[in-house]
């Protein structure tokens, strides 16, 4: 808490701020401020100290520590509480354990490194310590039917795309059902998992992975070469992950509340506008076999509607699209 308050005081000062003023703002002693500044320096913050003038923040590292992440939260529920982990098998797995033990709606799990990041259907999500943003949220959508939960994939994808478009000016598009793509390459993957009974959702775990920086040693080569996109390269400067996380959570909270209050229709309309899948000839690896045709719609349940060569329409509820 003290680190957060000191960092917040340094940021607000936008120049030098005295140790006394920081101590007053944080409600602690000057000695505690001195210790907090030392801790922040050890964590990679560059802080100048000058006699009679106080402290000045020169630069911040791109870190995902809880005090930095919480500083950029603009949400009511999402991100409360926060678990910031150095290393975990999968943030979805960790969040699921938390949810089982009663973690509240909005609980955020973010990790610097995932050792067993998951995609859908047992696939792998690759991430790189320091270069990726990987996080999961515990959601408890009260009153929503389990059959409507898959719409959350679209809600989340739209929220990420909106944040990237509005805050960073990136032409982010949505590839049905769970990818956010830029220039046709995958920047972000979304994994929605649920625990439910026939007519009751216990909890949903929403996992989001984003490639932010190009990993050192160009680990994007190999299987992901030409398929994966890296955010920095579209922004033209290194993006701070804690800031990005704050922007995405704000956007997600807005989309989520709209979805709860107004249903899927408005979300669907915007998803269709940003879709990179609609209007294209696609091949879909659907659970009951391959389907080929033109993707013509996303229906009121989030299914992809494909028009086959003889004019028949098929609704695909889950699958992978090759365009
Ligand atoms: C996804 O699955 O795209 C869901 C990814 C969700 C990842 C997050 S990270 C935080 C949370 N914790 C987890 O353990 N998971 C979630 P799917 O549509 O099945 O896509 C997986 C496929 O995407 C892989 O088979 C690769 O082809 C490709 N892929 C893997 N890593 C990638 C990356 N970093 N960038 C782009 N594509 C990637």
| 207 within ligand 1 shell (Cβ under 6 A) | yes
* Per-residue pLDDT at 216: 81
* Per-residue pLDDT at 288: 81
Residue with CA nearest ligand 1 atom 16: 207
- Cα–ligand 1 centroid distance for 250 (angstroms): 22
Q: Which atom of ligand 1 is nearest to the CA of 320?
A: 18
Would you say the pTM of this structure is higher than 0.85? yes
Count of C-beta atoms within a 10 Å radius of residue 287: 9
Q: How far apart are CA 299 and CA 236, in angstroms?
A: 36
- Tens of pLDDT along the chain (323 residues) come to 789 999 999 999 989 999 999 999 889 999 999 999 999 999 999 999 999 999 999 999 999 999 999 999 999 999 999 999 999 999 999 999 999 999 999 999 999 999 999 999 899 999 999 999 999 999 999 999 999 999 999 999 999 999 999 999 999 999 999 999 999 999 999 999 999 999 999 999 999 999 999 988 766 666 788 899 999 999 999 999 999 999 999 999 999 999 999 999 999 999 999 999 999 999 998 878 889 999 999 999 999 999 999 999 999 998 889 87
| 123 within ligand 1 shell (Cβ under 6 A) | yes
Query: Which DSSP symbol is given to 65?
Result: -
pLDDT digits (tens, 9 = 90+) for 152-199: 999 999 999 999 999 999 999 999 999 999 999 999 999 999 999 999
* Per-residue pLDDT at 285: 87
pLDDT digits (tens, 9 = 90+) for 123-157: 999 999 999 999 999 999 999 999 999 999 999 99
Q: Which atom of ligand 1 is nearest to the CA of 223?
A: 27
The CA–CA distances, whole Å, from 6 to 28, 45, 241 equal 10, 12, 20
Q: How far apart are CA 230 and CA 130, in angstroms?
A: 13
* Per-residue pLDDT at 286: 81
* Per-residue pLDDT at 304: 96
């Amino acid at each position: 808490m003290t680190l957060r308050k000191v960092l917040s005081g340094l940021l607000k000062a936008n120049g030098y701020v005295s140790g006394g003023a920081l101590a007053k703002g944080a409600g602690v002693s000057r000695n505690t401020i001195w210790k907090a500044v030392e801790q922040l320096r050890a964590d990679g913050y560059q802080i100048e100290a000058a006699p009679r003038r106080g402290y000045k923040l020169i630069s911040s590292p791109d870190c995902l520590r809880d005090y930095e992440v919480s500083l950029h939260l603009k949400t009511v529920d999402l991100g409360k509480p926060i678990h910031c982990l150095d290393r975990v098998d999968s943030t979805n797995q960790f969040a699921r354990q938390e949810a089982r033990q009663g973690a509240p709606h909005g609980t955020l799990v973010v990790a610097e490194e995932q050792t067993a990041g998951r995609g859908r259907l047992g696939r792998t999500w690759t991430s790189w310590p320091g270069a990726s943003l990987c996080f999961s949220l515990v959601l408890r959508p009260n009153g929503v039917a389990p059959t409507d939960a898959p719409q959350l994939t679209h809600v989340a994808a739209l929220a990420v795309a909106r944040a990237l478009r509005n805050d960073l000016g990136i032409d982010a598009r949505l590839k049905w059902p769970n990818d956010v793509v830029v220039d046709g390459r995958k920047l972000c993957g979304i994994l929605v998992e649920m625990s439910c009974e026939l007519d009751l959702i216990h909890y949903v775990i929403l996992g989001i992975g984003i490639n932010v920086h190009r990993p050192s040693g160009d680990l994007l080569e190999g299987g992901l070469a030409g398929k994966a996109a890296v955010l920095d390269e579209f922004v033209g400067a290194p993006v701070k992950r804690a800031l990005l996380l704050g922007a995405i959570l704000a956007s997600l909270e807005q989309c989520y509340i709209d979805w709860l209050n107004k249903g899927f229709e408005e979300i669907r309309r915007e998803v269709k506008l940003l879709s990179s899948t609609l209007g294209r000839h696609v091949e879909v690896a659907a659970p009951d076999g391959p389907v080929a045709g033109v993707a013509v719609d996303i229906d009121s349940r989030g299914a992809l509607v494909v028009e086959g060569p003889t004019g028949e329409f098929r609704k695909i509820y889950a699958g992978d699209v090759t365009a």
